[in-house]
Amino acid sequence: MTIIPVSPADVPARPWLAADAGRWAAIRVPLWARPLGPALLLFGSVVAAIVLSPACPACSATAPCTTDWLDAVGTMAFLPHLLWLFLLPELAVVSAPLLLLWMTEPSTWQGGAGEKIADTVVVVALCWGWAAMATRLRTRRKARSAVRDAAGGITASAPAPGGPWLRRGLIRWVAGALACTVAAVLIAGIVLDDRADDRTAATATAQDARVVAVDNDDYTLTVRLPDGTRHRFDVQGSYRNGSTVRVLVHGDWMRLASEPYGDPTDRQAVALLCAALGLTLLGWGLLAHRRDAALRRGPVPVLRVLTRRNHGRTEIFAADDTDALHPVLNYQPHDGQWTSLRQGLLYGAPCGGAELVLASATEAGQWLVEVNISAIRRGAAADSYARTAEREAAPSIVTEAQVQQALAAMAPASGPVRRQADAATRAVAALTLLISGAVVALMVASRWWTLILWVPLLCSGAVACLQVISWRITADAFGLRIRRMWRGHRVPWADVTGVVFTGKNELTISCRTGIDDVRVGRVAVPRLDRLLRRPAVGERAAVEISAMVLEPGLRPTDTV
C-alpha cells in the first residue's frame, strides 16, 4: 500500500450523503435487461436450430463437401456473444448486429418449419440482447452522472497504490494472446494440410469403390476397393449402402473425391473455440486497461465516505452513516487487513465494471491507498436507499387538486362502494388469455418443445391479465376489503393513510407505520384507456378512497 502523508482536511471533497447514495442506488438495470433472460433464450434457440437443421447433404465428386469456414465461424461466434452478454456489454452491442447480419444468409432459412421457428427465436433473442446491453450501458452512464452530481463537480487525481500488484487487464491480455496464438496455429495447420492434400490429389489415381457400411452415429463410411480391400473414411455428408463413390489413391495416401479434406471438424471447432476465448480475454483486458488508465490519466470525481473491511471485502458507507449500519457498496481489494471504521476518499464513479481507488485515513493522519480487484456489488443499504428514492420520485397520477374536487363533489355513501376493472377492460384481458391458450395448444399439438422458449413471456402475460380481471376494492363502514388474484385483505380505516396510483396503472394502498402497504398491482390496460380517451378506473378508485380517508363523513355507513 502507498502511504500518503497528508491530512484529510487538505483534500477538497464533498461527503457522499445517504440521499445522494439513494439516488445512485435507484439507478438500476431493469429486470428485462438482465443478461440471463436473453442468454438462455439465445442458447436454447441456437441448440434447437442445430438439432432441427436438415441432414448433411449428399456429397459427390461433382459437388464435394468442402470445409465451410463461414458457417463454422458464424455458428461458433454465438459462444463469445453469450459470454459478452454477461461480461462485456460494450462488445455485445457490436456482435449482436453482426450475428443478425449473418442470420440473413439465405441458406440459414432453407430448413423445415421447426428450424425456421428456431431461427426466428434466435433473431428475437439477438434483438432482445442488443436492447438489454444498450440499456445496461445507458444505466452505467446515468450512475456515473449521479456520482458526478453528488461530487458537485469536484475532481482530483487518484493516487497510485504501491506494492507488488499487476496492472488491470495484463493477465487477461497474456491469456488471450496465448489462446489466439493456439487458434492461429491450429487454423494454419488445417489450411496447410488442405493445400498439401490438393497437391497430392492432382497426381492421384481415381478408383470407383462400393459402399459396404455407413455409420451415421460416428459419421464413418466403409468402402470396398477394386482390389477387394476395405477402407474406412471419416465423412461429413450422407451416403447409402450399395452406392458407388470415387476414391483418390496415391501410394498409401487415400481420400474420397466427394470430401476433399476429410473431416477437419474437430480441429476446426477447437481452433474457433480458442479464438473465441482469446478474443473475449483480449477484449476484457483492453477494457479493464482503458478504465484503469482513465482513472489515473486525469482528475476524476472524489467523494468523502466512511469505509471498513468486513470478511475480506471493503465496504463503503455514506458519510452521514456514522453507525456503519447500511453499506452502500462493497468490493474485494488487492490487499489490506484493517477492520475499523475509517474516513475515506473514493476516487472514480462506482458502476458496473468500474475501476475505483480508495484512500482511507489512519489514526496517524496518513492515508492507505487500495484498488478494487473484483466487480462492485451493492451493499445492504443500496436497496433500501433505492426504494426510498423511488417512492419519492414515483409519478403519482392522483393529485391534491383531484382529491379536493372529490371532497367537494362526493356525497356520503349509503352502502358499500365497489371498484374493479370495467367490462371492456376485463373482456380485453380475457380475450388475451384465450388467444394465449390457443397459441399454447397449437404449440403442444405441433412442436411442443417450442413452448419451453416462450414460458417466461406467457407466464408474465397471464399473470398481468389475471390481475386486471380479478382485482376489486370494496369500501364499507369498517374499512377496505381488497381482492387481488386469489388472495384477500382486510384493512381498517384507522390503518389506511392513502392510495397511490402510478403511471404504470398500478394501485397501492398505503398504511400507517408498522403495517405493510397492500399492493393491488396492475388494475387496467393503459393502451385501452388511452384509445378510449377515458380516465383510468384505478385513478378514480384512488381519488375516491383518498377522499374517504381525509373525510370520514364520506365513508359508507352500511356494510351490507
Q: Per-residue pLDDT tens for 136-168?
A: 999 999 988 888 888 888 888 888 775 544 566
Q: Which of 14-23, 209-218, 306-315 has the lowest mean pLDDT?
A: 209-218
Which range has the top average pLDDT, 268-272, 345-349, 422-426, 443-447?
345-349
In percent, the amount of the chain with pLDDT more than 90 equals 5
Cα first-last separation, the chain:
75
- Which one, of 371, 300, 302, lies nearest residue 333 by Cα? 371
Q: DSSP secondary-structure letter at 338? A: -
Residue 330 has pLDDT above 90, yes or no: no
* CA–CA dist 144, 116 (Å, integer): 42
pLDDT of residue 164: 45
* CA–CA dist 475, 131 (Å, integer): 43
At 383, is the secondary structure helix, strand, or coil?
Answer: helix
Cβ contact 22:388 at 8 Å? yes
Banded model confidence at residue 130, pLDDT cuts 50, 70, 90: very high
Q: Which of 43-57, 136-150, 370-384, 488-502 has the lowest mean pLDDT?
A: 370-384
Residue 227 has pLDDT above 50, yes or no: yes
* CA–CA dist 92, 98 (Å, integer): 10
Residue with the bigger pLDDT between 392 and 300: it is 300
Residue with the bigger pLDDT between 27 and 266: it is 27
Give the cell for residue 557. 355507513
Give the cell for residue 86. 454477461
Angle at 362 between CA 356 and CA 366, to 5 degrees: 85
* CA–CA dist 150, 305 (Å, integer): 12
- Only one residue has cell 443499504, namely 381
Cβ contact 90:287 at 8 Å? yes
pLDDT of residue 532: 57
Per-residue burial over 479-518, b = 16 or more CB atoms within 10 Å of its CB, e = otherwise: bbbbebeeeebebeeebbebbbbeeebbbbbbbeeeeeeb
Average pLDDT, the chain: 77
Banded model confidence at residue 381, pLDDT cuts 50, 70, 90: low
Burial of 320 (C-beta count, 10 Å sphere; 0-12/13-18/19+): middle
Which whole number is the average pLDDT over 447-456?
57
Cβ contact 439:455 at 8 Å? no
Q: Which residues pair with 510 in a beta bridge?
A: 498
Banded model confidence at residue 8, pLDDT cuts 50, 70, 90: very low
